[in-house]
Amino acid sequence: MTQNTGGRGAGAVLGAATVATGLVAGVVFAYVCSVMPALARSDDRVFFEVMRNINDVIQNPVFFTAFFGAPILAGVAAWQHRATRARVWTLAGFVLCAAVFLVTTAANVPLNAALAAAHDPAAARAAFEDPWVAWNLVRTILAVVGLVCLIRAMAVRGTARDQARD
C-alpha cells in the first residue's frame, strides 16, 4: 500500500514548522509563568522600564525568524500535506499559528506601542498589565495547542510513511 506523505521535503518543512512553533510557544509561556509574575512584584517604575526594555530587545532577527517562520512554515506544511492523513493536523497547526500571529499583532503589539509612548509609569501600567497578561495567556494556549497539532501531524505522517514502506 502506498501513502502520500506530502512530497519531497514536506517532512523537513513540517519539522521546521514544529520547531518554530515550539520556540514561540516557549517564549510566550515564559511570560505566563515567570516574566509577568516577577514583574507583578515590582513597583510601577520598574515594571514600566523593564517591559519597555523587553519590548525593544525582543524585536530582533532571532525572535522574528521563529515568530514569522512558525505560521509561514505551518502554512506551507498544511499545503504540502493537503492530500495526506496528516492534513487535518497540519491545517489545525497552521490556523493556530496564524491565530497566535493575529492575537500578537492585534492585541499585544498595540499595548506595547501604547506603553512605549506613555510617560506616567503608574497610568501606563494600569492600562497595560491586565489586558496584556490576558492576551498573552490566549496566545500561549493557541501556541501550545498549535504545537501539539503539529507534533501529531508528524506522528501521523511518520505512520503513513512507515505503512508505505511495508
Dist. CA 150–CA 160, nearest whole Å: 15
Give, as one character, the DSSP assignment of residue 107: I
Question: Which of 125, 105, 104, 94 lies closest to 20, judged by CA?
Answer: 94
The percent of residues above 70 in pLDDT, for the chain, comes to 92
**Tally of domains in the chain:** 1
Q: pLDDT for 125-166, tens place per residue?
A: 999 999 999 999 999 999 999 999 999 999 999 875 545 554
* Segments forming the whole domain that contains residue 81: 10-165
Q: CB within 8 A of 165, min separation 6: which ones?
A: none
109 in a structural domain: yes
3 in a structural domain: no
112 close to 55: Cβ distance less than 8 angstroms: yes
Q: Is 97 exposed, middle or buried (0-12, 13-18, 19+ CB in 10 A)?
A: buried
Least confident of 2-6, 63-67, 102-106, 121-125: 2-6
The percent of residues above 90 in pLDDT, for the chain, comes to 89
4 in a structural domain: no
45 in a structural domain: yes
On whether the pTM is more than 0.85, the answer is yes
